[in-house]
Amino acid sequence: MQYQVQHSDRHSKGRVGLLTTGHAEVETPAFMPVGSLGPVKGLEPEDLQSLGFRLILNNAYHLYLRPGHKIVADMGGLHAFTGWPGAILTDSGGFQIFSLAKLCEITDEGVTFQSHIDGSTHFLAPEKAIEIEEALGADIIMVLDQCVALPASRVIIQDSVRRTQLWAERCQASRRRTDQALFGIVQGGLESDLRVASARELVRLGFDGYAIGGLSVGEGKPDMYAMLDVTVPELPESKPRYLMGVGHPEDLLEGVARGIDLFDCVVPSRHGRTGSLFTSTGRVVIKQARYAEDERPIEPDCTCPVCRRYSRAYLHHLFMVKEMLGARLNTIHNLWYFSELMRQIRETLREGTFPEFRDAFYRNHTRQAVMAGLAECEEPCGKLHGNGHI
């Protein structure tokens, strides 16, 4: 993997770069759609390519449990197994163990956990995590880390930082493949000094890129942004910076402004499957009865394949009858929105107009949203909220 910063914004810490792997060139800042089990649910590789994506995330935890990393390796690795020709990043599974495992016991040696699928017991050490990710064959792999829910005591967070550092060293030492980039993961909860210490220790070890983990796990957005403010300056400018599991539109803008290059989140695909559609002024919740006879597209000015062809009334119908095509079309629209948002962010960074673009985003998601009638909570309350829902 190679990474080159091509342009730095003079108004913020945002930058435009080019990340090159053996499978794709990826313009950054970039959003990665999540295909936990291999595919992004309901979509083929060609769909993702046509939407402008060149890098996706697969999850080592899920693929380890089903179908098994050895089977994927025997099938030629993830690229051959899934048919995805672009770049792939695999998460080591630390967050999934934290969030999904029925029971887990964490020691310095590793994690003993029960599968959320069948209750079977497994042990994941840092060396095992690297073995799994090398077998899967992604372009970018992650160290095993310990993520804690917030709020948490300083003692608990200190222990997770210490253990994450220990595991990072062991992951680095157990690498065998030279054709994969390995990223370290900064932890530290909402403790600024622990975040700084974690980042500095990882930089001392020297990784191909650096991720910021343990955020969007219970804290408010101002706290998350504050942790980015103290962490990003500690990371090398010559390496890509990845904010893990964060992906609401406003988070992408704020992350970019603070120097983040890569994002991933299930938000666009999961929201699509549940009928919540992103627009330039907020969200359209397509299951609401008001759309049963609405001839308009999701968003009049959107040029995605869905808006060019289908009405809100039709998408409402598909959702209400639980037709699988509805989830697919909704997902395509949402991913188009995210791809276009990232394209506009890169363009405005290059042109020096990112602050104006950022300001316009917030204007459109508040006052104009009320006037347009497009930004809606799933249960409309008639009030304007800070995230643009009414």
Residues marked as catalytic: 91, 264
Q: How far apart are CA 181 and CA 140, in angstroms?
A: 5
Q: Are 88 and 56 in contact (CB under 8 A)?
A: yes
How many separate helices (H) and strands (E) can be counted in the chain?
15, 16
Give me the sheet containing 121-124, strands edge to edge: 104-107, 110-114, 121-124
CA contacts within 13 A on the Cβ side of 60: 29
User: For residue 184, what are the β-bridge partners?
Assistant: 210
Token pair recorded at residue 350: 């290059």
The token duo for 112 is 């003993």
Tokens representing residue 116 in the block: 């959320």
Residue with tokens 């666009």: 268
Q: In whole angstroms, give the CA distance from residue 165 to residue 167.
A: 5
Beta partners for 58? 90
3-state class (DSSP) for residue 6: strand
Given phi > 0 = left and psi -120 to 50 = alpha, else beta, which region is 191?
Answer: beta
Separation of alpha carbons 185 and 275, rounded Å? 33
Which of 95, 82, 97 has its CA nearest to residue 40? Answer: 82
- Comparing C-alpha atoms, which of 193, 200, 263, 261 is closest to residue 235? 200
Q: How far apart are CA 307 and CA 295, in angstroms?
A: 11
> Does residue 254 contact residue 212 with C-beta atoms inside 8 Å?
no
